[in-house]
A and B are shown apart, each in its own frame.
Chain A
Amino acid sequence: MNRTNSLITLLLISALGIGVTWLVQRSNAPQIAAEQRLRESRKLLDVLPVDAYDNQPLQQPLTLTDINLSHSQLLGGYRASKNGQPVAVLLRSQTQGYAGNIELLIAIDAKGRLLGVKTLEQNETPSLGGHIGDWPHGWLQAFSGKSLSQPPDAGWALKKDQGQFDQIAGATITSRAAINAIHDALRYFDEHRTALIGSAS
């Protein structure tokens, strides 16, 4: 077998390989993208019970104004609704932790009560503040049901700071940052209630 024949075989196989890969990629790309979107939204939205809403909150982000709060910054907001009635507002909040930024997803129901808090991103010390990234997390679950007035402003702090919340063991700065971010989000919700809930209420 001479050189030319080898070269032709190589070229043919290369063309065939590229063609097949391209075809397979093209025919599967939409399903893969859909699956990825679904997984991402499920990961974000598991602060809410699955049957609590029937819209696609992530497809309709809210436009937020004055996103710089006193201890944190809002990155985005979503509205979950059922049968056209708003049931919850999800706020993505970023705050400064001990070792970097902490990103929290804070779910607030239409009456201003906390439904749940989930950590989306954190770089805290593993096995101390890093526990805040666990899901579900016992310390973050303790905030469910709280609101801006329950407890009052002074109570929104660690027991160490004369507030009424425990802290994550060995992680005062992380705990303080999380509490302040949650408090900020509740205050923001209260101040921008009509814009966040929408006209449907």
Chain B
Amino acid sequence: MNTSATLSNSMMLVLLIGASDSVAGALATLLIFAVVMGVYGVCMAPLRSRLSSQSLLPVSLVLAATLTGCADIFLQRSAMQWHQLISLYVGLIGLQCVVLEHNGFFRQPVRAPLNLCGLFAVLMIVLAVLRELIGQGSIGHHLSEHWQGLILFSEGLHFATLAPGAFILLGLLLAARQAWTRPADLPEETHHP
């Protein structure tokens, strides 16, 4: 994967940071993401071989916009409380489809895309659980109108629900992963007098 692909894949960071301030929002985003990406992949598969590369971009744009628009309307219809949490980010999912298409994401063998999406989903859920727990002291608030969520303590550290707090948490998670995967038998630096 070249630099520009890595750079534009980092567009996912907006979704990851923005929509992960509550478990309900993260789950709703993941649901829409999965549905839109799935339908988009299926619809684009027969078109890709038939269209020239110049007209592929506008077609993918139109298709992504249609799918995202419809998904947004269906979400409003069926789960208004979820829609209020993530309405800002639904449009970005469509944009994400176009960016990934442009990078040749859908033309790779099936394993790599699945890996990226799986990583995204896991990170999203872990971040959401941590942020909601630290920020509001609850898990699953707003998930349903009839269930208040699991409330563990009432006053949380509000900072965790804001974007800077999310970046810090993400950094800590990455650091933890690096510490975990680093080979344990690194030679330690010692001072010899």
Contact = CB atoms under 8 A, between A and B. Distances in A.
Interface of A: 1, 3, 6-7, 9-10, 13-14, 16-18, 20-21, 24-25, 28, 31-32, 35-36, 39
Interface string B30-59: 000000000000000001001110110011
A13 B62 contact: yes
Given A13-B59, A17-B65, A21-B66, A31 B77 contact: yes
B97 to A, nearest CB: 13
Contacts of B69: 21, 24-25
Contacts of B62: 10, 13-14, 17
Contact of B66 (A1, A3, A7, A17): A17
Interface residues of B, number: 19
B122 interface: no
A25 B63 CA distance: 16
B4 to A, nearest CB: 25
B70 A24 contact: yes
Interface in B63-112: 63, 65-66, 69-70, 73-74, 76-77, 80
A24 B50 contact: no
A7 B80 contact: no
A193 to B, nearest CB: 37
Given A10-B55, A32-B80, A35-B76, 19 more contacts: A1-B51, A6-B54, A9-B50, A9-B51, A10-B58, A10-B62, A13-B59, A13-B62, A14-B62, A16-B66, A17-B63, A17-B66, A20-B66, A21-B66, A25-B73, A28-B77, A32-B73, A32-B76, A39-B80
